[in-house]
Amino acid sequence: MLCLARAGALDFARTEYVRLGLDRICDDPDTVALGARLLKDVALAARGPRRVAFAKASARRYHELFQRFGGLYGAVNAATMTLVAGDRAGGRARAATVLEVRSPMGLTGEAAYYDAASRAEARFLTGDLEAARATLAEAVARAPRAFAAHASTLRQLGMLCRETGVEARWLDPFRPPVCAHFTGHIFDAARKGALVGGRDSALRRDLDRALGQERVGFVYGGLAAGADIVCAEAVLQAGAELHVVLPVNRESFVAVSVAPFGRDWVERFEACFARATSVRYAAQDPYVGDEQVFAYASQIAMGCAVLRAQTLSTEAIQLAVWDGHAASGPAGVAVDLAYWAQGGRRRVVIDIQRPPPILSSAVRRQTQDEPAQRAMKAMLFADVKGFGALSDDQIPAFIEVVMGQMAKVVEGLAAPPVHVETWGDGLFLVFDRPIDAALAALALLEAHRALDLRAQGLPRSLGLRIGGHYGPVHLRTNPLTKTLAVIGAHVVVAARIEPDVAPGSACVSEALAGALAAFHGDRVSCGYVGRTQGRKGFAATAIFNLTRA
């Protein structure tokens, strides 16, 4: 149920909650709390009378939780949802009750944190901002590295600031460390470029200073010889998390981006790689000369930094080591800087001196002679859960009503897909831009929810589910149909997501979620749901729910 709620499939989650009889269980605190949580989610996503009605229902459920089982969780949430329902005096009165509850003896770690954080929330609800600030500082001191817990509290208090009109800047000192995307130059072995010998140590000092001044705690980037590895070593020495994103499989990456520059760099790579908190691959294939995969890996790393910052309710910045020269191809520090700049977020640039790059003959051939047969595309796969159980006499209504509605939505999009395929109840849409795919997915979901299926002789249980991904694909001509074919490993990634999506919702890959978070957080929102089931030899994939912001 929690997974469904996090996926944004609130209607389906509430239906399942009732179908399983959980709404009738009163002697289990987790079940009661879940029911209150679902009502709260609906309230916070609604406006007007619907928001008030669900907020009141949630407050009642949380109050029942408190009365039956005690504890601060139910009490403080009852107070908060009373305020959301528009009853500030009632919320203040319930918050005062929270402050009268004594803390259990011997609380430590996150339990001690949540006890103090709940009291900070209650003090805020009573209107005592200074006391809330002091109590929140006490909470953080009890579990200083419980960053996910801190973020949960910050989101709750941020919502309350919006509800009450209080400026949220008072929360800034309590935010977790900053998340950073790192980009820097690989070394040119032939020309013995910058950062050789003593310059390596000078760069390290600059990086140490930047990491400390910016309070960086999580870094996402590559691990090539040169600036990447120097930064990774500084990150690990500082006690921050290192998250590596490689463009191709490990063996190929080392052969292309590390080994040519000396055995010492390989050893340093191995040491950093072994201590990385996580490793991601833009592709598991070997490098075949397409430099676009390096740009794609950087985009994934940037998206991951932004997504992590959003999850932790903190800031995302870019940390770059740059020689000031324009990129000589489709990838490079200058390209990364330009991509990041589109999001308007801060960046910290460490200047270095290097000779201008030389445009390789391979790059010249790619840019001058070869037509583009690979391109970055955003893709959606959609189908209707329950289609296979329809009787034959229901198929005409399904085609006319359900598929007909999809056609109307697609035809009415401001930015229509550049490629469409369909079979049975399945739909494959390809877009040039991630935001166009996201808005199309949401429009399809909203139109499907508005259908009166029962009036058309169709089961109400028919649920549209959509999976999405963003990555480089091959653009070819299908020899049989003589039409455009969009194919490749990244098309398969998109296809593998859709079967694990809850009916009535859309989920996207980390690559697509990161691109949306980096540039379109004001229009759409992506939250981590979990991982798909690995099927037919394909690894599990992290997926994120897609909703309107």
Tell whether the model's pLDDT for residue 511 goes beyond 60.
yes
Residue, of 195 and 177, whose pLDDT is higher: 177
DSSP sequence for 43-111: HHH--HHHHHHHHHHHHHHHHHHHHHH-SHHHHHHHHHHHHHTT-HHHHHHHHHHHHHSPPPTT--HHH
Residue, of 481 and 238, whose pLDDT is higher: 238
Q: Which pLDDT tens digit goes with each residue over 384-440?
A: 998 988 999 999 999 999 999 999 999 999 999 999 999 988 999 999 999 999 999
Question: What per-residue confidence (pLDDT) applies to 370?
Answer: 47
Handedness of CA 14, 19, 22, 25 (dihedral sign): positive
Residues of the chain with CATH 3.40.50.450: 178-368
| β-pair partners for 376 | 472
Q: Judge whether 310 and 518 are in contact, CB under 8 Å.
A: no
Question: What per-residue confidence (pLDDT) applies to 537?
Answer: 65
**Could you tell me which CATH number the domain at 178-368 has?**
3.40.50.450
Judged on CB neighbours under 10 Å (0-12, 13-18, 19+), 296 is: buried
Cα distance between residue 293 and residue 282, in whole Å: 7
Cα distance between residue 380 and residue 176, in whole Å: 34
Question: What per-residue confidence (pLDDT) applies to 517?
Answer: 93
* Token pair for 427: 């739909």
Q: Which pLDDT tens digit goes with each residue over 210-230?
A: 999 999 999 999 999 999 999
Residue, of 400 and 285, whose pLDDT is higher: 400
Q: Judge whether 214 and 348 are in contact, CB under 8 Å.
A: yes
Cα distance between residue 349 and residue 543, in whole Å: 32
Judged on CB neighbours under 10 Å (0-12, 13-18, 19+), 276 is: middle
- The answer regarding whether domain 2-174 maps to CATH 3.40.50.300 reads no
Q: Judge whether 383 and 240 are in contact, CB under 8 Å.
A: no
Tell whether the model's pLDDT for residue 192 goes beyond 50.
no
Question: What per-residue confidence (pLDDT) applies to 536?
Answer: 65
Cα distance between residue 358 and residue 463, in whole Å: 54
Residues of the chain with CATH 3.30.70.1230: 374-548
At the topology level, CATH places domain 374-548 in Alpha-Beta Plaits (3.30.70)
At 232, which helix (H) or strand (E)?
helix 227-237
Mean pLDDT of 262-285: 93
Residues of the chain with CATH 1.25.40.10: 2-174
Residues in contact with 527: Cβ distance below 8 Å, sequence separation at least 6, in sequence order? 6, 8, 311, 544, 545, 547
